[in-house]
Amino acid sequence: MIVGASNFNSIYELSRTAPFADENIIYTFHFYEPFFFTHQGAAWVGNQAATIGVPFPYDEKSFPSLNPKAKNTWGETNYYQYRKDGNEQSVRDKLQIVKSWALKYNVPLLCGEYGVYNKYADLDSRCRYIKAVRQNLNSMHIPGILWDYNANFSIFDGKPSVSNLPDCMKDAIGYVTKK
């Protein structure tokens, strides 16, 4: 059985729970940290995601202005926090929260979703983020699943096929050409 926590399989909610008394459970979580980057421009999360053009990692020179629609939302708070959270070390630190929980209770983990909404995030930033998450998951021995094969979070440039997989994305996912 696969079990996740509340608040969209939050790492924070999972880390505050005690596992069930059942050895046949894999605990899952979704990883979209920092949300300010991974969901930029995503209309379904409201004005908090209105700021677009956010690079990963944080780069002061190319960091956009706060979209006025994001004022007085979590998006404004996250805009200022991104200077600290928009980097690979922060990704590692946040994944370590859930890894430490799993080690404490000796339970298996699965990252059931991670990825980047691709409409407004530039390709290079998406590649750097996906690579950072994948490498950290691998180093922590946590299997991970990219969310969305061919729509809003797709890793392809066009229809899903190896020929539409950008070189930086091949590197990000560890794709190796068979010889």
Report whether pLDDT(98) > 80: yes
Q: Which CATH number applies to 2-173?
A: 3.20.20.80
Stretch 130-134: mean pLDDT, rounded?
98
Q: Please state the pTM of the whole predicted model.
A: 0.96
- Compute the half-sphere exposure of residue 102: CA atoms within 13 Å on the CB side of its CA: 21
Integer CA distances (angstroms), 77 to 73, 84, 130, 159, in order: 7, 12, 24, 36
CA dihedral sign of residues 148, 149, 151, 155 = positive
43: helix, strand or coil: helix
Quickly count: other Cβ atoms within 10 Å of residue 27's Cβ. 23
Residue 115 has pLDDT above 90, yes or no: yes
- For residue 7, is it left (φ>0), alpha (ψ between -120 and 50) or beta? left
SS3 159: coil
Q: Where do we find the tokens 């020929």?
A: 163
Q: Is the pLDDT of residue 177 over 80?
A: yes
Count how many Cα atoms sit within 13 Å of the Cα of residue 14 in the half-sphere of its side chain. Answer: 31
pLDDT band at 105 (very low <50, low <70, confident <90, very high): very high
Show me where the domains of the chain are located: 2-173
Pick from 147, 117, 142: which is nearest to 53 by CA? 117
Radius of gyration of the chain (CA): 17
Instruction: Please provide the DSSP assignment of 54-81 as one string.
Output: --SS--TTTPPPPPGGGTTSHHHHHHHH
pLDDT tens by residue, 56-76: 999 999 999 999 999 999 999
Rounded to whole angstroms, the Cα distance separating 149 from 166 reads 15
Average pLDDT over residues 150-159: 94
